Structure 1
Amino acid sequence: MTGFGVLLRKEWREHIRNFKVLWIPLVFIIFGVLEPITNHFLPEIMKSVGNMPEGMDFQWPEFRGEDIFASLLGQYQFIGILIIVLAFMGTISGERKNGTATLLYVRPLSFLAYFLSKWIIVNALVLGSACLGFMASWYYIDILFSAVDVGSIFAFIATYSLWLIFVVTVVLALSAWLPTGGAAGLAIVITLIYQVIDSLIGAYWAVSPWKLATYATYWFQADTDMSDLWMSAGVTVVVIIVLILFGIFMSKRNAAKTTV
């Protein structure tokens, strides 16, 4: 793979220049901190602004630490995925449009190295951000709620990380195939809207990449059958590999469309 190390450094420096290495982790950390704090003080907030009738006492459920992790997962499933799509939808198509790719394509470039360098750096940034968010949330969950088994937390994060890798691969493959707007629209349909479809009629199938986020919470439940999780993980890995090959092919095929 020609110049793979150079391409990796180029991608990392680009994300430093556009401050993605700063604001993306910051967003995940903020939501990770806000989720346990908000849930802890929610009863007091509702008493202050809820305008409940005098003498009425609403009994709030007792949240466990595992419940807060599941609640945070719901936040990341919408806001986090939307951030990934919007931040990286033009990773490849944007370079073709603004002519930056011309400086690369005139050199003896390996499109395998070109696509994988972007895939590795974007995944490192996204997974690092999500892990920082979960770690920040874990700190406050441990203080404000109940302690959660360490092994279950890391298994939970690892399962969700595979889903995030799938999302990143979808976004980059579509960016290699379509213009930026088209890549963003189709990525939102595949990663966000299809989640809604899966939640509505997904009872008819048990194995799907879109179920990984749900299956990640199984690690917090004792004596749960994990067979569907492992099968979904295996299918997701296969789909990721296929999408990577598709992204490499489309990067090479669309190289001629680069603005000069």
Structure 2
Amino acid sequence: MKGLSVLLQKEWRENARNFKLYWIPIVFVIFGIIEPVTNHFLPEIMKSVGNLPEGSEFTWPQFRGEDIFVSLMGQYQLIGILIIVLAFMGSISGERKSGTATLLYVRPMSFGSYFLSKWIVVNGIILGSVWLGFFAAWYYINILFNPVAAGDVFAFLATYSLWIIFAVTVVLSFSAWMPTGGTAGLSILVLIVLQVIDSVIGAFWTVSPWKVATYASMMFSSITNQSGFWMSIGLTFVLIVVLILFGINMAKRNAAKTTV
């Protein structure tokens, strides 16, 4: 594709200039550190500030390291997704509105290269941030809790990374399709609201992109429904490809709406 390497460099420099390359990993790492540290010291904190009656006992569940990984994933499922949406909802629509895209559209480039350059760089930033966050948590988990097997951790991260890629693809394809505000609203609906719905009534089905995070957490024990796991993985891969093609088409179709 025309100019993909040039566009990749442009996206990388742009994310460095607006500091997304720096603050996003820092946020994920901070949450990765806070989760195990907080869960380790929380019983002592509650005892000291809980104002419990004299003689009463405060019991706190004994967490394993695997539980902390799953708990941190729950934080990323909300806060992490919001970061993805808020940081990148204007990746394409914002360039159309500001007129920046005009400088690109007049050059000999393909819209496939344009969309994929953003997709590759944003996924690199977010996946790197998520992995750094979990690695920071892993370090403190091994100190404060029990050691967690590396094979389980990497299987968990690989599976959860697919959900992150899906989330990034949703945001970027919607950004190519809609204005920035619409991208934010629809992305939150698809990635957070439908996730909540799936957690509430999702027992009636086993195959869904919103199940991927759940299956990731099962890497620390065992996946009882192997067919549902692999079908969810396959469906998510297919949807990612479809959303990429949709985003490329929408970026091309909406190029005429660019502010001049």
CA–CA distance in 2 between the matches of 1:227 and 1:41? Answer: 40
Q: 1:223 to 1:242 in 2, by over 3 A?
A: closer
Contact preservation (8 Å) 1:97, 1:258: yes
Structure 2 gaps of 5+ residues are none
User: TM-score with structure 1 length normalisation?
Assistant: 0.99
CA–CA distance in 1 between the matches of 2:12 and 2:91? Answer: 12
Q: Following TM superposition, where does structure 1 have runs of at least 4 consecutive aligned residues deviating by more than 4 angstroms?
A: none
Q: Tell me which residue corresponds to 2:118.
A: 118
Q: Tell me which residue corresponds to 2:75.
A: 75
CA–CA distance in 2 between the matches of 1:2 and 1:253? Answer: 18
Contact preservation (8 Å) 2:215, 2:223: no
User: TM-score with structure 2 length normalisation?
Assistant: 0.99
Contact preservation (8 Å) 1:218, 1:226: no
CA–CA distance in 2 between the matches of 1:175 and 1:98? Answer: 14
Q: Tell me which residue corresponds to 1:163.
A: 163
| 1:29-77 Cα distance to aligned partner (Å, 9 max, x none) | 0000000000000100101111111111122121110000010010000
CA–CA distance in 2 between the matches of 1:246 and 1:47? Answer: 54
Structure 1 residue 223, shift from structure 2 partner: 6.5
Q: Tell me which residue corresponds to 2:202.
A: 202
The 5 Å alignment of 1:125-204 reads 125-204=125-204
CA–CA distance in 2 between the matches of 1:227 and 1:161? Answer: 20
| 1:70-94 Cα distance to aligned partner (Å, 9 max, x none) | 1001000000000000000000000
Q: 1:221 to 1:128 in 2, by over 3 A?
A: same
CA–CA distance in 1 between the matches of 2:156 and 2:231? Answer: 16
Identity over aligned pairs, percent: 71
What amino acid does structure 2 have at the position aligned with 1:143? I
Instruction: Specify the SS of the correspondent of 2:256.
Output: helix
CA–CA distance in 1 between the matches of 2:251 and 2:105? Answer: 11
Question: Alignment RMSD, CA only?
Answer: 0.8
What amino acid does structure 1 have at the position aligned with 2:204? Y
Tell whether 2:108 aligns with 1:108.
yes
The 5 Å alignment of 1:206-217 reads 206-217=206-217
Structure 1 gaps of 5+ residues are none
What amino acid does structure 2 have at the position aligned with 1:2? K
Q: Tell me which residue corresponds to 2:12.
A: 12
Q: 1:146 to 1:46 in 2, by over 3 A?
A: same
Q: Tell me which residue corresponds to 1:37.
A: 37
CA–CA distance in 2 between the matches of 1:159 and 1:223? Answer: 12
